């Protein structure tokens, strides 16, 4: 705000900001958002889960990762409204005496962390390879696209599982717990780069023959800068749509791998790990350990999916 | 045409070569194979003798080609964990996975196709909307969650269906099947629904959008103008033309069904290859992991190759394009 007083040149800035905001509210995307109740609900739910996951340390009544605060006497307590419920534990507790509500909050935090990290990893890898492939062409393009072709014929979740499984056997046993999340992010990321690369490559091939790129080349800008400064901003639109849909896929993949026991370790359970823990107690009637994390996961994935679908349709001028 | 097939064949062989290399590197360099096979009280001399007899002292390229030779015969040595030949273990587990995958694929086709046709013919009907919301759930919910949900409802709460295993199986030669027995069939219901649900929704959505598209074409209008009955138009003209993509997608999906079988088999403790592989990961049982890697890669390569060739046979336009590309 201090800029406002300083110089006349800067006065334009807040106006520009307001203009952008105005343009946003006038835009087709905002219009389509307001006229799709499903999307509004989905984004509210997503926001709710995001905020409560980020604010877990402030919201959660207990820190489930702090082993000192756990009491085994508190384990297997049903939710508050059940007969043996305990008012301290809203949704009951799991087998180690962790408060389920807190553990779900912290768990969705880990699920989101792994989801976002692996999407960013796949996005950066895929976009760079796509740019290089599309801009340079030739042998590099051929090699990258052959690899992509081979990879896309295998389902992503299988690749993630295989990479994760193989890497885990390579790590010394003592470090597995520490490195588990990194390995997981790497495996999910590496299984998802192809879509970004293919999309970016095809739009780069269109962009690189346009006049602005030719002009940039004529004045002698280095290829790296042309790719990053000039082409990249023009090919990012579809990448964002892929990224949103990929986020849902990444969260599901993380949950699945954790459920299979090759993902996040039990000491820092994600939603998938929690469901896995609860699955062992399903038959003794302790349904809450599985069902509550399962509902959270389902709502999260469904909302993100709906948002992604809407974004794809809203940004696609053909459908209007 | 032959050039196209040879190129695809070469590509498949390169894929298999790389997968074999990964499997070989794992086999040789993750832990010490000799150490895994012998007991603690085996003497140093005995270990060296075993090492020599396994050929682990040969140069690496020699070992690699021997590995490929053995892999071609599907021999991957002895499982560390089961102390049995990997070939035997897979032979035992293969029927379970194939049976489950086959029933799941069949289920998804038999249910998904009519649902898709209906949703395509009556896009505004309430039932179509129910189908569509249902398909959204099928696409969004993770496979393992659907499995757990089914177990919770039908095994734990209602107690109608068994929650794990294959039930009674009959042995025909080395093949085992649960299809002829009632308990085998009952055990098959939930796993096959879990495994097939994703494919079902996929097929339904595909058929629906293809139907919507085909119904807008001129030849359908022409068929109406000729005064054909709705039935003849929908099933004789429209449906037939939607089937090409459906068949190819279903073909390609066989691969992912086998992949997703790992998850379903874990949820239902179904004694198939996927469960074997997952247990092998937990126990660092490298021979099984290597064998599974090679087997799955092989399945995928064969399926993709077949689908590609089928495309070529079914769609004459593709032949023309390729001919042009080669000619110019």
d(CA A229, CA B39): 62
Kindly state whether residues A21 and A113 are assigned to the same domain. no
Give φ, ψ of A42 to 5 degrees: -60, -40
Instruction: List the single residue in A with minimal CA-CA distance to B149.
Output: A291
Which ipTM did the prediction report? 0.78
Give the largest CA-CA distance in chain A. 78
Grade residue A53 by pLDDT with cuts at 50, 70 and 90.
confident
Model pLDDT, residue A128: 92
Model pLDDT, residue B327: 40
Q: With an 8 Å Cβ cutoff, are A290 and B148 in contact?
A: yes
**B66 found inside a domain:** no
d(CA A68, CA A206): 59
Q: In the structure encoding, which two tokens stand for residue A177, read together?
A: 């717990």
**B172 found inside a domain:** yes
* pTM of structure: 0.81
CB atoms within 10 A of CB B198: 22
How many structural domains is chain B composed of? 1
Kindly state whether residues A41 and A30 are assigned to the same domain. no
Distances (CA, A) of A2 to A6, A12, A15, A146: 7, 13, 15, 54
Q: With an 8 Å Cβ cutoff, are A301 and B141 in contact?
A: yes
Grade residue B21 by pLDDT with cuts at 50, 70 and 90.
confident
Instruction: List the single residue in B with minimal CA-CA distance to A290.
Output: B148
Model pLDDT, residue A320: 46
Which residues of chain B are within 8 Å of residue A256 when distances are taken between CB atoms? 142-144, 263
Residue A142: pLDDT over 50 = yes
Range of the domain at A9: 2-34
Q: With an 8 Å Cβ cutoff, are A259 and B296 in contact?
A: no
Q: With an 8 Å Cβ cutoff, are A275 and B148 in contact?
A: yes
Q: Which of B156, B263, B289 sits opposite A256 (nearest CB)?
A: B263
Across the strands, what pairs with A177? none
Kindly state whether residues A123 and A66 are assigned to the same domain. yes
d(CA A77, CA A90): 10
CB atoms within 10 A of CB B156: 15
pLDDT tens digits along A14-37: 567 777 777 777 777 777 777 777
Model pLDDT, residue B267: 87
Model pLDDT, residue A51: 86
**B24 found inside a domain:** no
Q: With an 8 Å Cβ cutoff, are A302 and B137 in contact?
A: yes
Q: Which of A158, A248, A261 sits opposite B259 (nearest CB)?
A: A158
**B155 found inside a domain:** yes
Model pLDDT, residue A119: 93
Of all residues in chain A, the percent with pLDDT exceeding 70 is: 81
What mean pLDDT is predicted for residues A207-227? 87
Model pLDDT, residue A276: 84
pLDDT tens digits along B280-307: 888 777 888 888 888 888 888 888 888 7
Range of the domain at B102: 86-327
Q: With an 8 Å Cβ cutoff, are A260 and B278 in contact?
A: yes
Give φ, ψ of B176 to 5 degrees: -120, 145
d(CA B121, CA B244): 18
Q: With an 8 Å Cβ cutoff, are B296 and A158 in contact?
A: yes
Question: How far A28 CA sits from the closest chain B CA (Å)?
Answer: 25
Model pLDDT, residue A15: 67
Q: With an 8 Å Cβ cutoff, are B259 and A259 in contact?
A: no
Residue A8: pLDDT over 60 = no
* Inter-axis angle of helices B86-121 and B273-283, nearest 10: 120
The structure tokens 């196209």 sit at B4
Return the half-sphere exposure (C-beta side, CA atoms, 13 A cut-off) of residue A301. Answer: 27
Judged by a CB distance cut-off of 8 A, whether residue A166 touches chain B is yes
Q: Of A240, A236, A212, A246, whose CA–CA distance to A226 is shortest?
A: A212
Question: How far B227 CA sits from the closest chain A CA (Å)?
Answer: 33
For residues B211 and B320, the model is more confident at B211
What sign does the dihedral A228-A231-A237-A242 (CA atoms) show?
A: negative
- Let me know the angle formed at the C-alpha of A47 by A44 and A51, rounded to the nearest 5 degrees: 140
DSSP code for B284: T
Q: With an 8 Å Cβ cutoff, are B281 and A305 in contact?
A: no
What mean pLDDT is predicted for residues A39-43? 84
Residue A90: pLDDT over 80 = no
Kindly state whether residues A112 and A254 are assigned to the same domain. yes
Judged by a CB distance cut-off of 8 A, whether residue A266 touches chain B is no
d(CA A19, CA B106): 57
Kindly state whether residues A154 and A9 are assigned to the same domain. no
Instruction: List the single residue in A with minimal CA-CA distance to B261.
Output: A158
Distances (CA, A) of A147 to A140, A164, A287, B207: 11, 19, 44, 31
Which residues of chain A are within 8 Å of residue B143 when distances are taken between CB atoms? 256
**B31 found inside a domain:** no
Model pLDDT, residue A126: 93
**B80 found inside a domain:** no
pLDDT tens digits along B100-143: 888 898 888 889 888 888 888 887 888 888 888 888 777 778 88
Kindly state whether residues A247 and A275 are assigned to the same domain. yes
Q: Which of B144, B151, B281 sits opposite A256 (nearest CB)?
A: B144
Q: With an 8 Å Cβ cutoff, are B15 and A150 in contact?
A: yes
DSSP code for B6: H
**How would you classify the pairing of strands B170-172 and B175-177?**
antiparallel
d(CA B19, CA B30): 16
Q: In the structure encoding, which two tokens stand for residue A112, read together?
A: 């989101």
Question: How far B278 CA sits from the closest chain A CA (Å)?
Answer: 8
CB atoms within 10 A of CB B44: 7
Best residue in B18, B144, B156 for a mutation probing chain A (most A CBs within 10 Å) = B144
Kindly state whether residues A301 and A245 are assigned to the same domain. yes
Q: In the structure encoding, which two tokens stand for residue B225, read together?
A: 């103008």
**B127 found inside a domain:** yes
Model pLDDT, residue A80: 64
**B223 found inside a domain:** yes
Q: In the structure encoding, which two tokens stand for residue A154, read together?
A: 């295998």
CATH no. for residue B145? 1.10.3720.10
Q: Which residues contact A95 (CB under 8 A, 6 or more apart)?
A: A75, A76, A277, A280, A281, A289
Grade residue A1 by pLDDT with cuts at 50, 70 and 90.
very low
**A214 found inside a domain:** no
Task: Report the mean per-residue pLDDT for chain A.
Answer: 80
Judged by a CB distance cut-off of 8 A, whether residue A283 touches chain B is yes
Q: With an 8 Å Cβ cutoff, are A169 and B26 in contact?
A: yes
Of all residues in chain B, the percent with pLDDT exceeding 70 is: 90
Distances (CA, A) of A284 to A287, B18, B152: 8, 46, 11
Which residues of chain B are within 8 Å of residue A285 when distances are taken between CB atoms? 156
Residue A81: pLDDT over 50 = yes
Q: With an 8 Å Cβ cutoff, are B11 and A252 in contact?
A: no
The answer to which of A298-302, B203-207, B308-312 has the lowest mean pLDDT is B308-312
pLDDT tens digits along A157-198: 888 888 888 787 777 766 777 788 888 899 999 888 998 999
Of all residues in chain A, the percent with pLDDT exceeding 90 is: 7
**Is the separation of the CB atoms in A99 and A138 below 8 Å?**
no
How many structural domains is chain A composed of? 2
Question: How far A165 CA sits from the closest chain B CA (Å)?
Answer: 6
Kindly state whether residues A246 and A170 are assigned to the same domain. yes
d(CA A22, CA A241): 23
Provide DSSP, B210-240: HHHHHHTSHHHHHHHHTT--HHIIIIIIIHH
Q: In the structure encoding, which two tokens stand for residue A44, read together?
A: 């509210």
Kindly state whether residues A157 and A20 are assigned to the same domain. no
What mean pLDDT is predicted for residues A111-115? 90
Residue B175: pLDDT over 80 = no
Instruction: Report which secondary-structure segment, H or E, holds B98.
Output: helix B86-121
Residue A233: pLDDT over 60 = yes
Model pLDDT, residue B33: 66
Judged by a CB distance cut-off of 8 A, whether residue A150 touches chain B is yes
State how far Cα A219 lies from the chain centre.
Answer: 39
Give φ, ψ of A95 to 5 degrees: -70, -15
Model pLDDT, residue A127: 93
For residues B153 and B36, the model is more confident at B153
Q: In the structure encoding, which two tokens stand for residue A168, read together?
A: 């885990």
What mean pLDDT is predicted for residues B173-190? 77
Model pLDDT, residue A6: 47
């Amino acid at each position: 705000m201090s800029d406002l007083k300083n110089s006349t040149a800067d006065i334009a800035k807040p106006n520009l900001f307001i203009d952008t905001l105005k343009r946003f509210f006038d835009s087709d995307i905002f219009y389509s958002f307001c006229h799709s109740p499903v999307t509004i609900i989905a984004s509210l739910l997503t926001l709710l889960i995001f905020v409560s996951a980020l604010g877990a340390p402030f919201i959660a009544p207990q820190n489930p990762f702090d082993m000192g605060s756990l009491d085994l006497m508190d384990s297997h307590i049903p939710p508050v409204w059940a007969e043996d419920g305990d008012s301290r534990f809203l949704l009951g507790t799991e087998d180690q005496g962790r408060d389920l509500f807190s553990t779900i909050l912290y768990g969705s935090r880990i699920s989101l962390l792994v989801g976002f990290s692996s999407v960013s990893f796949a996005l950066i890898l895929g976009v760079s390879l796509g740019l290089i492939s599309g801009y340079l062409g030739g042998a590099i393009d051929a090699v990258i696209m052959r690899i992509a072709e081979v990879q896309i014929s295998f389902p992503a979740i299988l690749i993630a599982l295989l990479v994760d499984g193989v890497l885990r056997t390579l790590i010394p046993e003592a470090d597995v717990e520490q490195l588990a999340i990194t390995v997981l992010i790497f495996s999910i990321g590496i299984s998802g780069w192809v879509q970004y690369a293919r999309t970016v490559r095809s739009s780069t091939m269109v962009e690189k023959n346009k006049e602005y790129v030719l002009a940039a080349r004529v004045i002698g800008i280095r290829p790296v800068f042309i790719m990053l400064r000039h082409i990249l901003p023009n090919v990012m639109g579809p990448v964002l749509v892929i990224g949103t849909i990929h986020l849902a896929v990444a969260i599901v993949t993380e949950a699945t791998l954790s459920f299979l026991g090759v993902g996040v370790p039990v000491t820092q359970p994600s939603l998938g790990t929690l469901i896995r823990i609860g699955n062992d107690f399903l038959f003794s009637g302790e349904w809450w350990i599985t069902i509550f994390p399962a509902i959270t996961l389902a709502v999260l994935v469904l909302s993100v999916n709906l948002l992604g679908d809407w974004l794809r349709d809203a940004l696609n001028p053909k459908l209007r | 045409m032959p050039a196209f097939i040879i190129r695809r064949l070469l590509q498949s062989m390169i894929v298999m070569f790389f997968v074999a290399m990964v499997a070989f590197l794992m086999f040789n360099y993750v832990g010490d194979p000799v150490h895994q096979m012998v007991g603690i009280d085996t003497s140093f001399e005995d270990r060296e003798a075993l090492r020599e007899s396994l050929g682990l002292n040969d140069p690496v390229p020699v070992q690699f080609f021997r590995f490929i030779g053995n892999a071609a015969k599907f021999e991957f040595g002895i499982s560390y964990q089961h102390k049995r030949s990997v070939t035997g273990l897979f032979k035992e587990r293969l029927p379970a996975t194939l049976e489950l995958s086959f029933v799941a694929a069949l289920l998804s086709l038999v249910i998904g196709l009519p649902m898709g046709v209906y949703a395509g013919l009556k896009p505004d009907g309430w039932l179509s909307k129910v189908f569509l919301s249902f398909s959204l759930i099928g696409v969004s919910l993770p496979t393992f969650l659907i499995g757990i949900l089914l177990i919770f409802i039908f095994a734990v709460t209602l107690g109608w269906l068994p929650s794990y295993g294959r039930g009674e199986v009959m042995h025909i030669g080395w093949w085992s099947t649960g299809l002829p027995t009632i308990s085998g069939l009952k055990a098959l219901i939930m796993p096959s629904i879990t495994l097939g649900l994703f494919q079902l929704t996929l097929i339904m959505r595909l058929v629906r959008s293809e139907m919507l598209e085909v119904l807008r074409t001129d030849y359908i209008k022409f068929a109406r103008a000729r005064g054909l009955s709705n039935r003849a138009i929908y099933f004789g003209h429209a449906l037939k033309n939607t089937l090409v993509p459906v068949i190819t997608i279903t073909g390609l999906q066989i691969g992912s069904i086998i992949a997703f079988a790992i998850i379903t088999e874990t949820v239902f403790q179904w004694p198939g290859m996927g469960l074997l592989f997952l247990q092998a990961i937990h126990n660092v049982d490298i021979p099984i992991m290597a064998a599974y890697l090679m087997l799955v890669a092989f399945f995928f390569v064969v399926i993709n190759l077949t689908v590609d060739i089928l495309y070529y046979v079914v769609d004459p336009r593709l032949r023309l394009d390729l001919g042009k590309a080669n000619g110019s």
